[in-house]
Amino acid sequence: MKTFRDKLCLITGAASGIGRATALALAREGARLCLTDLEEAGLEETGRRAQRVGGHVVACRAFDIGDEAAVNRFAADVHEVGGSVDVVMNIAGISTWGTIETLEARHWRQLVEVNLMGPIHVLRAFVPAMIAAGRGGHVVNVSSAAGLFGLPWHAAYSATKFGLRGISEVLRFDLRHHGIGVSLVCPGAVRTGGSRH
């Protein structure tokens, strides 16, 4: 993809950190944006800033990507208003640190629901329409350095980020013949501004 101008780009985790920075960078390129995050105030601020720098915000809604029904409702609304997206950017995520004796089952479940099932919900809701549209496009999944190698206190987090890495590697094969590229981003520590995702 040589230009983002007029491309419809979905960005999760857009209220802060990498998600906000990405949304604003795409806005400066003239992209049409679909933005989501759990944190409503930060999300609305991102939308306002994106409009000011030249982006067009097609949809902006706060919800938890771990909620499959909410993701599906958002996708249906986006498809009705803007058609299929050109770019899916799975950036939303949360972190919880601890050792095997200190992490509770609820911590593991929450990380799996948001960091792994969340991106899966997004992919299932948006990618089939991209395939059907036949225009190609791109998927970007944000994993982590902790999705490449183990780090102390990162067991639950790494489980989800290794999982997203595996999904991305398979999607490269599965989506290639549809003209849809797949990128995996594995950043180190990032100051996110405190947003959950």
Q: Which residues are catalytic?
A: 157
Q: d(Cα 75, Cα 122) in Å, to the nearest integer? A: 8
Strands of the sheet with 8-12, listed across from one edge: 56-62, 32-37, 8-12, 87-90, 137-142, 180-185
φ and ψ of 112, to 5 deg: -65, -45
DSSP-assigned states of every residue in 5-71: TT-EEEEESTTSHHHHHHHHHHHHTT-EEEEEES-HHHHHHHHHHHHHTT-EEEEEEE--TT-HHHH
Burial class (CB in 10 A: 0-12, 13-18, 19+), 12: buried
- For residue 134, which of 179, 174, 88 has the smallest C-alpha distance? 179
